């Protein structure tokens, strides 16, 4: 019995020295100090020994038990402390990068457009989103019976108050209070009753206006061509196609060579090889009447473009609604 206690001590201490985590330590406790451990059964059997052997064996067994308990407690404390330290200052763990935001693609395009025109001397101006009928339609030579006023298209608040359907009213607001030369670029939100893969009830436009003495259609072509080259690359083909707007005469829509198929014809350009990107024209003398400019003295051009459309073409996005779903997987790509 004495021998067995000695052996048990050696065995237990050896296995204790190898323990490096709390799980193994618990196994150790069960094996050497638990209710079903050999040491416990030795202690239980002491009563059955011849009386003269009992004190010595009892003492040895107790001593072993005390030693193992003490060693166990010490190691437990050490391992627990080590575990905590590890949690707080494991300098080998890689750091967690802080989340960093960036501009929404629409904001990026607005900034790019404004920067291109700012560098050409245009001043950035904004206007109200809740607009008077007068500025949104009347003073832009869109009379009461014009189809653009259709209830389908415009969000009316009252008979005379509406959500602006384009950024063109800013032209009128500026000309009303400033004399030429005027060169402005006006970004902002606009609203129409429309919603599908290429329309949202709210979208963004940028409006431009330049009025001075001797401004010609050649200036319009030159400046808008330069814009296209800066925005889409200097090899992008541009064409000016006759069109109609109530507030410009003559009017032209600007097309660029399809960015997807490079003019060969594809689904995006409806197999025409061209994509419309903006409306433009020489300011109609009728508009000057509303703001008190002398059409004999001044001339100018204006243009307007949809930002979502530019962004879709530039980034190859097929569904306009993606801009407004706040999906991180989509937004992170920009």
Report, in Å, the least distance between residue 159 CB and ligand DAH: 22
In angstroms, rounded to a whole number, what is the distance separating the alpha carbons of residues 182 and 293?
A: 12
List Cβ neighbours of 237 (8 Å cut-off, separation of 6 or more): 256, 257, 263
Report, in Å, the least distance between residue 280 CB and ligand DAH: 5
Report, in Å, the least distance between residue 167 CB and ligand DAH: 7
**Beta pairing partners, 211:** 182, 300
Among 122, 240, 245, 288, binds ligand DAH (CB under 6 A): 245
Q: For ligand DAH, give the closer residue by CB, 1 or 202.
A: 202
Report, in Å, the least distance between residue 334 CB and ligand DAH: 25
Q: Which tokens hold the place of 152?
A: 């389908």
Q: For ligand DAH, give the closer residue by CB, 12 or 139.
A: 139
Report, in Å, the least distance between residue 163 CB and ligand DAH: 13
In angstroms, rounded to a whole number, what is the distance separating the alpha carbons of residues 334 and 312?
A: 12
Q: Does 166 contact ligand DAH by CB under 6 A? A: yes
Q: Which string of x and - marks every residue 292-321 that binds ligand DAH (by CB under 6 A)? A: ----------xxx-----------------
Q: Is the peptide bond before 109 cis (omega within 30 degrees of 0)?
A: no
* Total residues at interface with ligand DAH (CB under 6 A): 11
HEC sequence for 114-155: HHHHHHCCCEECCCCCEEEHHHHCHHHCCCCCCHHHCCCCCC
Report, in Å, the least distance between residue 274 CB and ligand DAH: 17
Q: Does 168 contact ligand DAH by CB under 6 A? A: yes
Q: For ligand DAH, give the closer residue by CB, 37 or 168.
A: 168
Q: Does 154 contact ligand DAH by CB under 6 A? A: no
Locate tokens 């995006």: which residue? 268
Q: For ligand DAH, give the closer residue by CB, 127 or 304.
A: 304
In angstroms, rounded to a whole number, what is the distance separating the alpha carbons of residues 216 and 82?
A: 81
Q: How many CB atoms lie within 10 A of CB 38?
A: 16
Q: For ligand DAH, give the closer residue by CB, 37 or 171.
A: 171
Q: Does 281 contact ligand DAH by CB under 6 A? A: yes
Dihedrals phi, psi of 298, to nearest 5 degrees: -120, 150
Picking from 143, 140, 212, 145, the residue whose alpha carbon sits closest to that of residue 169 is 140
Contacts with ligand DAH by CB under 6 A lie at 166, 168, 207, 245, 248, 279-281, 302-304
């Amino acid at each position: 019995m004495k021998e067995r206690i000695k052996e048990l001590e050696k065995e237990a201490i050896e296995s204790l020295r190898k323990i490096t985590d709390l799980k193994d330590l618990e196994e150790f406790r069960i094996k050497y100090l638990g209710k079903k451990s050999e040491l416990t059964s030795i202690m239980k059997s002491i009563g059955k020994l011849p009386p003269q052997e009992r004190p010595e064996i009892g003492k040895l067994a107790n001593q072993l038990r005390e030693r193992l308990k003490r060693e166990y407690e010490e190691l437990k404390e050490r391992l627990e402390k080590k575990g905590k330290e590890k949690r707080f200052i494991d300098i080998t763990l890689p750091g967690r990068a802080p989340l960093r935001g960036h501009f929404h693609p629409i904001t990026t395009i607005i900034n790019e457009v404004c920067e291109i025109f700012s560098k050409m001397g245009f001043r950035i101006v904004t206007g109200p989103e809740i607009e008077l009928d007068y500025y949104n339609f009347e003073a832009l030579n869109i009379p009461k019976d014009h189809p653009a006023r259709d209830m389908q298209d415009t969000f009316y608040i009252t008979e005379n108050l509406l959500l602006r359907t384009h950024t063109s009213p800013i032209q009128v607001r500026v000309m009303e209070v400033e004399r030429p030369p005027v060169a402005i670029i006006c970004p902002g939100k606009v609203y129409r009753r429309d919603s599908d893969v290429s329309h949202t009830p709210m979208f963004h436009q940028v409006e431009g206006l330049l009025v001075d003495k001797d401004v010609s259609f050649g200036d319009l072509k030159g400046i808008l061509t330069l814009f296209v080259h800066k925005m889409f690359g200097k090899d992008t083909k541009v064409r000016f196609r006759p069109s109609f707007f109530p507030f410009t005469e003559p009017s032209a829509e600007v097309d660029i060579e399809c960015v997807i198929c490079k003019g060969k014809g594809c689904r995006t350009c409806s197999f025409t090889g061209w994509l419309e990107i903006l409306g433009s024209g020489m300011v109609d003398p009728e508009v000057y009447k509303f703001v008190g400019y002398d059409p004999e003295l001044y001339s100018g051009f204006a243009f307007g473009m949809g930002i979502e459309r530019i962004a879709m073409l530039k980034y190859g996005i097929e569904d306009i609604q993606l801009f407004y779903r706040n999906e991180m997987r989509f937004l992170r790509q920009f």
